[in-house]
Structure 1
Amino acid sequence: MTQNFSSLPGFAAAKSHLLEHALTVSDLFERISHVDDEVPGWPEPEAAPQDAPLLDPPTPAPLNGTHCMQALAILQLAKTFKDRALTALMRDGRPVCLTLPDHDMGEIVEIAAQALYPEAFAVGRSGKIWRAPEAATSGKTIIALAEVKLRSFLHEGHSVLILTPSEQITSPQVQDLVGHDLRLAPISHEMILAVLSLTHTPTSPGVTGALVDTLPTMTELGRLTSLKLIMAFQADTAIEVAQRLSRFAAAAPQEAEPKLSDVFGQDEAVAAFMQLQEDVEAWQAGDVAWDQITSSLLLYGAPGTGKTLLPTAFANNAKLPLIKTSYADCQKAGHQGDMLRALDMAVNEAINSAPSVLFIDEIDAFYARNSEVHNSRYMIGVVTGLLTQIDRVNATAGVVLVGATNHLTVVDEAVVRAGRFDRHIAIAPLNLAAITSFLQAKLGHVVEARELRHIAARMIGATGAEIDDFIRKTRTLAREAQSDISDRLLRRAADLYLPCPDTPLLRRIAAHEAGHLLIGHVLGLPRATLARVTPKGGAVLRDQRVMQTNKTLNDDLAMLLAGRAAEHLLCNSISNGAGCGIDSDLAKATRLALQAEAQFGFDETTLLWHDIPHPPRPYDIPHDLAVRATARLKAAEAKATALFTENQPALLKIADTLFEQREMEGRALEVLLGEAVGRADDGRVLKECPDIPETSDIAEHQLYSKFV
């Protein structure tokens, strides 16, 4: 196997640099005498046996590892600029900024640049190199003093190459001056082999293949510090260099768990990340362009549902570095400038670690720029800075962007639009099947499946975090009892740590959710996909509308207020469940009614568009608008009540079934609704139902509640 590096950009300059810096000329001449000047590489010996050991021949003492690293940096620079010569980029007078993996690379790349482009930095010529100070020691004063030299270069009319590590902080004034912002090309296997062909001279035909098999992946190489690379090059043979690189890569701290296989019940999200992993691997292999990949995802849902777990699991699965930040992480840095600088540092780290994953948590904490929050001008600047950084990430090949929010509706529309977060994925509490699978994966080897199903039924609607907490408490209980986890101990843990079933509460919740289901079914709303009743509250999930008309909006209002109406009918009272929080039934209905009157043009008296803050605040809503919206809400609730009166037996049947089953989805839910309501052959909904139960039976249904 012969490897030819003659056409590799920068190879000639790397070879010349090593000749110049060899310990002795004869020493290096002995090394590269095996390499044909016209066709550099590793020629096959004419009579080498096929089973020859994969060992290098004896060689002189290795070159200084720093010289090898400088030769490698020459190849990286040549790859970075490709056909765009550095001198050409610097002709327009604006500095060229080159971002490096770490601070130690600054001096190495400076020497490499002078070796690769000697005419650009020759004495008396205009080209200069400026290295930014180390981030660990740079405060405002140090940065200002360090930039004095840069400013003097610019004042004197020099072209400047700025070298800065990814975590470096420079002043905004310097950042505004940069004409070309580039990133040092990552190390490739071909670059490593090219340097080894000049410094360690492998000659066995099997060595090339052995090296490729031994070297760590390109992603792992990119994580190695320059010091570790230098130490690896100081090995005596090429094989030993590759082995050192692999050991250093394996020694890099990497979290093995969790993986995507450890995520339960989030099928859409897991499938999206699995596809993304395949796409990233295809991009690394050169089979697909980065701009053809959906590389930005926004996860939304209640706290504890796994929004933080998913990007961590994906990064572990794909073996990519994960860079995490959040509103709180950035805000604690200080005032607005410091906050934006902290966000910029996280983005820089992700960009310079590419391929990588950048996870921005608490996206909703940035608010929307049109929200009337305290110090809104401050937030406008913060959100604008966030948008700038998201655009930087999306413009960088190899960086996967993942955001998370508890409240999608309060996030600035410019943040969540396509082009910034291309795909939005709901992360919901786990269904019964997912909870059962979760428990089986964690406890199935010590507890019977029947007992796990019983425990899972008591945890319907729980988040992954809550299930993990229960498992930890169970194991703690086992340690306290100095026993193994058993069916009996698991039941005891459930009695201690899980909410006890409250029949009156569960019946009220079941009535509330039955109201949503029945009205949605009778009015032909988008189908319900899941209904759930738990001690912590209930939920009905359904497909979303694409567009609203006045009629469909009024139908949606009736469905949203049907829970209250069902409670009033079956329980002779209503609870606060319909109005708990900005995502509650009443909150959604209020906003929808206001939009109908002030934004959608459904009101016949005016066509004026009126902004509606989220959540709506009564003292900000004009009186006449509030009156019209309230009338619309009352009409919708009256419509739901009238439909319940006509179909009360169906409402009771649905409520009873939900109380018994606790969770229904898919086909089972469709069958329940169809059987409860009944349909004629022509598809019309029948109002005729079995006789209404006796009063004593109805009394059994007068214990319900709802917490959203």
Structure 2
Amino acid sequence: MREHESGGDFKRSIWRTSGTKNRSITVPVFLAYCVLGAALRGLVRRGGSARALLVVETSDAAEVFAQAGRLFLRQHFHFEEYEKPTVWVLSESRKGNRVRRNLFEEAAEKDEAILICDSETEFDEEAALWADVFVHLPKPTTRQIEATFRRFGYVLNDSDLEMLEAETWTRLSYAFPPKRPVSVGLQRLRSGPHAVVKEVGQPDDGPTLADLHGFGAAAEWGFELARDLEDFRAGRVRWDEVDAGVLISGRPGTGKTLFAGALARSCQVPIIASSAAQWQAAGYLNDFLRSMHATFEEARAQAPCLLFIDEIDAFGNRTTGGHNDDYKRQAINGLLEELDGFKRRSGVVVVGATNHPEDLDPAIKRAGRLDRHIVIPLPDATTRQKIFEQLAGFAVPPEQMDRFGRSTEGMSGAEIEQLVRDGKRVARRRGSRDARFDDVVHLMKPLVRLPSLQRRVVSVHETGHAVVGFELGMNLESVEVNETFVEDGATSVGVTHFRAPEFARHTRSFYNDHLAMLLAGLAAEKMIFGDFCDGAVGGDQSDLARATALATKMEACFGLGRTLAVEVVSNRELALLRAQDPSLRECVQHILEQAFERATSILRGLRSAVDEIATCLEERRFLSAHVIESIIDENARGPTGREMTQGEGRVHTSD
């Protein structure tokens, strides 16, 4: 702020006067002080009485200017520290009413007084006689905003300056309370609704759904939505006939955000992107709700459009409990009101994205809200190759396809994109503008040949799964052992395939069979080698981890154990249930021991068949269900141990 804008030694005195409590001088108060001081500069220079009637543009500015007015009077008219300057905010009145006369009479007794009101307040004619100065306060100038932030030690860039010029006094007051660093307040304003709106929807701005690979059911739904929106714009269907809410989930890097952008382009509508975290950055609960409401209002203003809510699981679940239950409940209620409350979201398609759909409150997924749930899986080998070739601009050589597929197993689209970026960087370092597959192949995870001893162990392990599953009536398809694998990667060294049944009753017997099959690999290793290794134990997808989770659900979540009472929890909370309930942990341990003993009994009864199948698998590395059945029949089986003939869902065990 320049000297002539604020009147003399303005910026020195406001900071250095001992009678001023500096901690109350916030960013918005100082900014208002600059505006007010520039308007009353002549009043100070003239001397004598100082009675000012100031009109602000909006009612939310009145209290901020009242604080600035008190600073102004104290600074320039020598108030003692114990004296309170006369600054009143006149409440807004309806048209036809008058400001109370006695307020002016009381102010008339003061030599220095400031009355502040908004532009809708009406006055008696005597108001002009009372006031020495009658001023409509303007909005802060660019130079005043810059000077204010310089006073607080912060230099604004053009983007922040443009944002601040558009902010309301209420939002400034919330963003810059006493003692909060200026940088934190600016970050909160940047995270507000105005900062999260971005329009796409132009076909040349990025890929459409037709350009993407590996989105399966999500892409199919998107194509149908594009047709529905076209019919809606043409007046052929009503909005309640459009599928306007969907929840998409998948592991990080599977392309949920990419899908949302491509969906908007395919539908040729703008997209507004936000998240619970961005709304929470606005401040307290009321600020959170206002920020969320503003985003939905923006979406309604641009309808038809797409509103993308990332990490929607951050809203949580009202049934899980916790120290911030009330906040969570009101936040979720606010979202539900926006999704299907009194103000219908006609023309707004809401897409919620999450990595953990099980953590989302069930009410958000009910009919009329985000009732359709689509999982975006990790891309398979064919899809990974298409993604790579689209990003890289060249094809994978035929002789490298197998290696590429195995080395990239378990990788997401984002990880493949990173691989392409690294390959192009290698090409630039060698002085070439164009990358080749040779630049990428050395960056992929190397394939390691499985040692002979380890191949024998894996063959025995997978044989255990196959034999016990077959004996218990599961629909075995095949079993295989890979000759090579990715060290510290997702490539399986062995896998047993079971075909999914068309119908199955998931009874206690059904799950007991499944547990026996899961633990059969460990049982086979112990029977042949005397013990099992940790390859099937570590990790949340290991045989033992999956069996432990299933046994816990049987006892605590499915009503198939000691009690019919159930706990509704996510998979990640199962361990907490066991830790909090020692008796539950004992029951789970008992179930697992029984399943392990049952698998061991079946394998011992078929020991000769197990040895022959494991040897054949070690040599051939692939056996069909027909071959396994033939070997079992030829080895004069004992009791089958079959207790049911219901099929089992497709199971992949990999260690």
- 1:629 pairs with 561, 565, 588, which one? 588
* TM-fit CA distance, 1:459: 1.0
* 1:478–1:485 Cα contact (<8 Å) kept: yes
- What are the superposed Cα offsets for residues 666-707 of structure 1, whole Å, 9 maximum, x if unpaired? xxxxxx65235337xxxxxx833689xxxxxxxxxxxxx967
CA offsets per residue over residues 48-73 of structure 1, 9 Å max, x none? xxxxxxxxxxxxxxxxxxxxxxxxxx
* Match 1:325 to one of 243, 268, 274: 274
Counterpart secondary structure, 1:401: strand
Preserved contact between residue 514 and residue 658 of structure 1 (Cα < 8 Å): no
The residue matched to 2:442 in structure 1 has which SS?
helix
The answer to whether structure 1 residue 389 and structure 2 residue 322 are counterparts is no
SS across alignment from 1:308: helix
Indicate how the Cα distance of structure 1 residues 506 and 352 shifts in structure 2: closer, same or farther if over 3 A, else same: farther
Q: State the secondary structure of the residue aligned to 2:633.
A: coil
- CA deviation after TM superposition for structure 1 residue 463, in Å: 0.8
The CA distance in 2 between the partners of 1:562 and 1:431, in whole Å, is 28
Contact 1:394–1:401 (8 Å) recurs in 2: no
Report the alpha carbon displacement of residue 336 of structure 1 after superposing the two structures with TM: 2.7
Query: How has the CA–CA distance of structure 1 residues 412 and 455 changed in structure 2, closer, same or farther, with 3 Å as cutoff?
Result: same
- Residues 595, 612 of structure 1: 8 Å contact kept: no
What's the counterpart of residue 305 of structure 1?
Answer: 254
- Determine the structure 2 residue equivalent to 1:549: 507
Q: Which amino acid counterpart does residue 211 of structure 2 have in structure 1?
A: D
Question: Does structure 1 retain, via aligned residues, the 8 Å contact 2:459–2:614?
Answer: no
Relative to structure 1, is the Cα distance of residues 626 and 498 closer, same or farther in structure 2, using a 3 angstrom cutoff? closer
Q: Gaps spanning 5+ residues in structure 1: where?
A: 1-131, 143-147, 157-166, 172-249, 661-671, 680-685, 692-704
Per the alignment, residue 352 of structure 1 pairs with 301
> Compared with structure 1, are the counterparts of its residues 387 and 436 closer, same or farther at alpha carbon in structure 2 (3 Å cutoff)?
same
Q: State the Cα distance separating 1:601 from its structure 2 match.
A: 3.4
Provide the C-alpha distance between the structure 2 equivalents of 1:618 and 1:553, rounded to a whole number of angstroms. 20
> Out of 353, 362, 365, which is 2:314 matched to?
365
Structure 1 position 340, deviation (Å): 2.8
2:337 equivalent to 1:411: no
Instruction: Name the CA shift for 1:451/1:608 in 2 (closer, same or farther; >3 Å).
Output: closer
CA 1:503/1:379 → structure 2, altered by over 3 Å: closer, same or farther?
A: farther
TM-score normalised according to structure 1 size: 0.53
Q: Give the 5 Å matches for 1:502-651.
A: 503=450, 523=472, 535=487, 536-537=489-490, 538=492, 548-561=506-519, 565=523, 572-575=531-534, 578=537, 580-581=539-540, 589-603=547-561, 606-610=563-567, 614-616=572-574, 617-618=576-577, 621-643=580-602, 646=606, 648=610
| Structure 1 residue 350, shift from structure 2 partner | 1.8
Task: Give, in angstroms, the shift of residue 335 of structure 1.
Answer: 2.6
Paired residue for 2:214, among 250, 265, 281?
265
CA distance in 1, matches of 2:375, 2:252: 12
Distance in structure 2 (CA, Å) of the matches to 1:393 and 1:650: 69
How far apart are 1:501 and its partner, in Å?
3.5
1: CA distance between counterparts of 2:246 and 2:476? 26
| AA in 1 matched with 2:633 | E
Cα distance in 2, alignment partners of residues 170 and 676 from structure 1 = 78
Aligned partners of 1:154, 1:490: CA distance in 2, in Å? 76
1:677 paired to 2:628? yes
Structure 2 residue aligned with 1:464: 413
Are 2:442 and 1:495 equivalent residues in the alignment?
yes
Distance change >3 Å, CA 622–CA 345, structure 1 → 2 = same
Q: What amino acid does structure 2 have at the position aligned with 1:648?
A: V
Deviations 1:576-631 (A, max 9, x none): 765534x766555445433433444333x544445657512156643333322321
Equivalent position SS for 1:688 = helix
Secondary structure at the aligned position of 2:377 is classed as coil
SS of 1:615 mapped into structure 2: helix
Shift of 1:273: 0.9
CA contact (8 A) 1:297 1:425 kept: yes
The letter for the 1-side match of 2:305 is S
Counterpart-to-counterpart distance in 1, 2:360 and 2:388: 34
In the alignment, which residue of structure 1 is the partner of 2:156?
none
SS at match of 1:678: helix
Q: What's the secondary structure of 1:687's corresponding residue? A: helix
Distance 1:612 1:435, change over 3 A: closer
How far did residue 438 of structure 1 move? 2.0
The answer as to whether partners of 1:529 and 1:543 remain within 8 angstroms in 2 is no
Map 1:79-94 → 2, pairs under 5 A: none
How far apart in 2 are the matches of 1:424 and 1:361?
Answer: 15
What displacement does 1:277 show?
1.0
Please name the residue that 2:174 is paired with: none
Is contact 1:305–1:427 with CA below 8 Å preserved after alignment? yes
Q: Which amino acid aligns with 1:427?
A: I
Contact 2:201 2:268 in 1 (8 A): no
**Closer, same or farther in 2 for the Cα pair 1:428/1:390, shift >3 Å?**
same
Q: Which residue of 2 aligns with 1:435?
A: 384
Structure 1 window deviating more from structure 2 (497-506 vs 637-646): it is 497-506
What is the DSSP-based 3-state SS (H/G/I as helix, E as strand, rest coil) of the residue aligned with 2:353?
A: strand
Of residues 270, 276, 284, the one that matches 2:233 is 284
> In the aligned structure 2, how far is the partner of 1:690 from the partner of 1:457?
36
**What is the CA-CA distance between 1:474 and the residue it aligns to?**
0.8
Contact 1:576 1:706 in 2 (8 A): no
TM-aligned CA distance change 1:621 to 1:264, over 3 Å: same
Query: When the two structures are superposed, what TM-score results if normalisation uses the length of structure 2?
Result: 0.57
Q: In 2 relative to 1, CA 553–448 (structure 1 residues): closer, same or farther, beyond 3 Å? A: closer
In 1, the alpha carbon distance for the partners of 2:270 and 2:242 equals 19
CA contact (8 A) 2:467 2:610 kept: no
The residue type paired with residue 551 of structure 1 is S
Distance apart, 1:495 and its partner CA: 1.8
**Pairing partner for 1:398 from 344, 347, 352:** 347
Which residue type is aligned with residue 637 of structure 1?
Answer: F
1:498 corresponds to which letter in structure 2?
K
Matched with 2:632 is 687
Q: Is contact 1:517-1:528 (8 Å) kept?
A: no
Q: Is the 8 A contact 2:516 2:595 kept in 1?
A: yes
What is the number of equivalent residue pairs in this alignment? 454
CA distance in 1, matches of 2:62, 2:602: 69
Distance 2:291 2:415 in 1: 32
The structure with the larger Rg is: 2
**Which amino acid is 1:470 matched to?**
L
The 3 A distance-change label for structure 1 pair 506 and 296 is farther
**Deviation at residue 370 of structure 1 after TM alignment:** 2.6
Letter in 1 for 2:386: S
How far apart are residue 510 of structure 1 and its match?
8.6
Secondary structure of the residue aligned to 2:256 is: coil
- Are the counterparts in 2 of residues 266 and 428 from structure 1 also a CA contact under 8 Å? yes
The within-5 A match list for 1:70-469 is 152-153=93-94, 256-373=205-322, 375-392=324-341, 395-443=344-392, 445=394, 448-451=397-400, 454-469=403-418
Structure 2 unaligned residues grouped into runs of 5+: 1-56, 66-88, 98-165, 171-198, 637-652
- 1:382-404 Cα offsets, whole Å, 9 max, x none, are 33333333335994222112112
Letter in 2 for 1:602: L
